[in-house]
Amino acid sequence: MDQAIPLELRPYARLDPRRVRRGLSRAAPVKPDDLLAAIDRQLLERIGEIRFTPETILELGRTPGAFIRALQKEHPKARVISLGIAPPRESLKPTFRLPWKPHPLAITGDPIRLPFPSDHFDLVVSNMMLHWSSDPLATLRETRRVLKPGAPLLLATMGQGSLTELQQALAIVDQARFGRVWIRVPEFPALQELGDLMASAGFTLAVADREVLRLQLPDVHTLLAELRRMGATNAHHQRPSALMGKGYPHALNTCYRTHHGAEDGSIPATLEILFGHAWKKSASPRTEDSIRR
């Protein structure tokens, strides 16, 4: 059996929060046919499988307010609060209001220091935020703290299998041009590690599953532009600080095509999306009958 992973020392936790916020704040609005919109829909399906009616919901997201409309449609009587890592663009700020309810609260904050009392929320939804946290384990512990006993957490995050082709091409080009390899793609948790993280944070009945998506794109420039549009950036503390040189993009595109390109000239990009749900322990143990099958 493999030895336990020292979770608190994992390198993916060493992100620069300022660069994370800067990248996410520049993200474009999510459109209905975007990848992030598809992830939203899958997360909502999982929320709908839980047999309960929450009165208070906390959404932890990339930017505040991006998922509020969907959550309020699913649970129109619930009080929804959205906390995002980065301030949104003006076009992303929620401008809607249900006629019979106050405006939902959307704020910017740090997920490892949630500004809410303990045992407060009936449901926490973490939507593509965990891999941008400066400390994922601390974030999950804070999430558990603000949940009521017996309440669930549902989350979606990028997985370790994401952007493997890009990582390989970057490593080859860096080694050839500079004689060393930098971390250029954030290091995401593996499927088993996500379950271990939730369990280490004190959750019970932690379950994780995944969806693997394989995109076909014209070239590396299109891939990088799409990642920037989603707010993705290299925020790792060990990122290179100098400019890569004028010929670097061409070398990267050539390397990517050589090792992964299709016959029609397009390139693949793999994305692994991890979904997880777990419960905060209650005085009376929750059984599997709480979840629809």
pLDDT digits (tens, 9 = 90+) for 147-180: 999 999 999 999 999 999 999 999 999 898 888 8
Phi then psi for residue 281, to 5 deg, are -60, 140
Q: Is 63 left (phi over 0), alpha (psi -120 to 50) or beta?
A: beta
Q: How many CB atoms lie within 10 A of CB 1?
A: 3
Top mean pLDDT of 3-17, 96-110, 149-163, 175-189 is at 149-163
Which CATH number describes the domain made up of 7-290? 3.40.50.150
52 within 8 A of 76, measured Cβ to Cβ: no
* β-bridge mates for residue 56, sequence order: 79
As given in the structure block, the two tokens for residue 186 are 């954030």
**pTM summary value:** 0.84
Q: Which residue has the higher pLDDT, 219 or 102?
A: 219
Is the per-residue pLDDT at 10 higher than 60? no
C-alpha span between 123 and 129 (Å, rounded): 16
Q: Which residue has the higher pLDDT, 257 or 237?
A: 257
As given in the structure block, the two tokens for residue 252 are 């990267």
pLDDT tens digit string along 119-149?
999 999 999 999 999 899 999 999 999 999 9
pLDDT tens digit string along 227-236?
998 888 887 7
pLDDT for res 8:
44
